[in-house]
């Protein structure tokens, strides 16, 4: 009797494994068959360096199927797999960027840049551009930076004000220590905020649009690299002094800069001082001279059966462009880098090449190619600055 039960259990297990394997093969074939109809996607990836991983592995349903209780799990043959990425060309990882000209700017970099070569690109106000390599000192040799006095905000002014098409104006102010600032303004019972770039600076400018001087009020909040913060109260816009834009002297015989490094906790602060206003970008080279071996745990993937042939049930466009990304990119907080599933602020014109939802809302794909690109982050434009200035034309 016991032997018969053992044989029966073995038969059941064998049947289950064989059936599961057939289902997995059918499901896998079903996923690969997406390329049969969508050949244009495959063709575009052959010319691009950065291919979205689900596309590369032809796991189309990872993004395009809906969440349903009627799903068929596809179990990988092993818990882990090894993926070898063949060496390509070196690429640059940009650690901090600023599009506003200043003479002294600071940025916080990860500790692992200690001892590495850094690339500094500088765009001077005079029009000159330079790219220079410097070496970050070893962490042990860096002086530690300790808390300083709380920064102060001075000389808040309004300039470049006009009402030709939409009301627009630039606000400028100074801080006693390098800070990153946020400008908040209230208008028609709405509150809007604008943030500065990655660098901490002494001189600050941010632009506001579509407002009325009689009813709009603004507040400035500034935070230094030690996270000491200060704010103004909300100030009526019509009480802020209006000044004429001063032209910067661009008659410098040469463009010069100096750097200084300090340690703040687990971060490294770099301060760049230039002899004339300039915008900056700091990066490091990621070398791919050797093949990279990656071991990862595969997750169970699901596909759906439909009443229309073997096609998976497609995800609706809103979920596909605003929610699906967080399944894999769970470390990215929603809206941390840029708000999504929101309408553009009043007065902002979105270029036609930036896709929106039918209701006009921004999505992840407003800025990123979904399948492949030659840009590291699969941006629609060649760089971050070019992408941002498509909508934020004040930069």
12 — pLDDT class (breaks 50, 70, 90): low
Cβ atoms of 220 and 181 closer than 8 Å: yes
The Cα 71–Cα 168 span in angstroms is 53
Helix (H) or strand (E) holding 44: helix 39-45
5 has a pLDDT exceeding 90: no
The three-state secondary structure class of 210 is coil
What average pLDDT does this structure show over 351-359? 87
Provide the strand spans (E) within the chain: 50-51, 71-74, 80-85, 91-97, 102-110, 117-124, 129-135, 153-162, 168-187, 190-195, 200-209, 217-224, 229-231, 235-236, 257-264, 267-286, 292-297, 301-304, 372-373
27, pLDDT greater than 60: no
Question: What residues does 124 pair with on adjacent strands?
Answer: 278
Q: Is the pLDDT of residue 26 over 80?
A: no
Q: Tell me whether strands 80-85 and 91-97 are parallel, antiparallel or unpaired.
A: unpaired
* Strands (E) located in 167-288: 168-187, 190-195, 200-209, 217-224, 229-231, 235-236, 257-264, 267-286
pTM as predicted: 0.51
pLDDT tens profile 153-204: 999 999 888 777 668 888 999 999 999 999 998 887 788 888 888 899 999 9
Question: Domains of the chain (ranges plus CATH)?
Answer: 20-85+307-315 (no CATH), 90-287 (2.60.40.10), 316-395 (no CATH)
Helix (H, G, I), strand (E, B) or coil at 129: strand
């Amino acid at each position: 009797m016991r032997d018969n039960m053992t044989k029966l259990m073995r038969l059941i297990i064998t049947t289950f494994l064989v059936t599961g394997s057939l289902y997995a093969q059918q499901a896998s074939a079903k996923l690969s068959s997406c390329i049969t109809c969508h050949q244009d996607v495959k063709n575009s990836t052959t010319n691009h360096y950065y291919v979205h991983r689900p596309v590369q592995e032809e796991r189309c349903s990872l993004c395009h199927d809906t969440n349903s209780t009627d799903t068929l799990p596809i179990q990988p043959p092993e818990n882990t797999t090894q993926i070898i990425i063949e060496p390509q060309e070196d690429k640059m990882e940009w650690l901090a960027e600023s599009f506003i000209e200043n003479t002294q700017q600071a940025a916080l970099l990860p500790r692992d840049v200690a001892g590495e070569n850094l690339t500094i690109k500088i765009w001077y106000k005079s029009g000159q551009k330079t790219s220079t390599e410097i070496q970050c000192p070893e962490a042990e040799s860096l002086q530690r930076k300790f808390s300083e006095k709380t920064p102060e905000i001075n000389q808040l002014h309004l300039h470049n004000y006009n009402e030709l098409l939409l009301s627009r104006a630039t606000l400028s102010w100074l801080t006693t220590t390098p800070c990153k600032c946020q400008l908040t303004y209230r208008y028609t019972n709405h509150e809007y905020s604008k943030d500065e770039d990655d660098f901490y600076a002494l001189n600050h400018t941010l632009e506001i649009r579509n407002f009325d001087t009689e009813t709009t009020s603004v507040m400035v909040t500034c935070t230094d690299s030690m996270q000491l913060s200060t704010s103004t109260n909300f100030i009526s816009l019509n009480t802020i002094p209006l000044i004429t834009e001063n032209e910067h002297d661009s008659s410098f015989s040469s463009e010069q800069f100096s750097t200084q490094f300090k340690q703040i906790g687990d971060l490294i602060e770099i301060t760049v001082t230039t002899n004339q206003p300039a915008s900056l970008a700091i990066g490091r080279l990621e070398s791919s001279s050797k093949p990279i071996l990656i071991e990862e745990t595969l997750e169970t993937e699901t596909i759906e059966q439909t009443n229309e042939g073997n096609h998976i049930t497609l995800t609706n466009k809103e979920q596909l462009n605003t929610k699906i990304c967080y399944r894999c990119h769970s470390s990215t907080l929603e809206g941390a880098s840029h708000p999504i599933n929101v309408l553009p602020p009043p007065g902002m014109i979105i270029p036609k090449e930036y896709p929106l939802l039918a209701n006009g809302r921004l999505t992840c794909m407003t800025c990123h190619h979904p399948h492949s690109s030659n840009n590291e982050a699969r941006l629609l434009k060649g760089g971050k600055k070019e992408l941002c200035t498509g909508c934020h034309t004040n930069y």
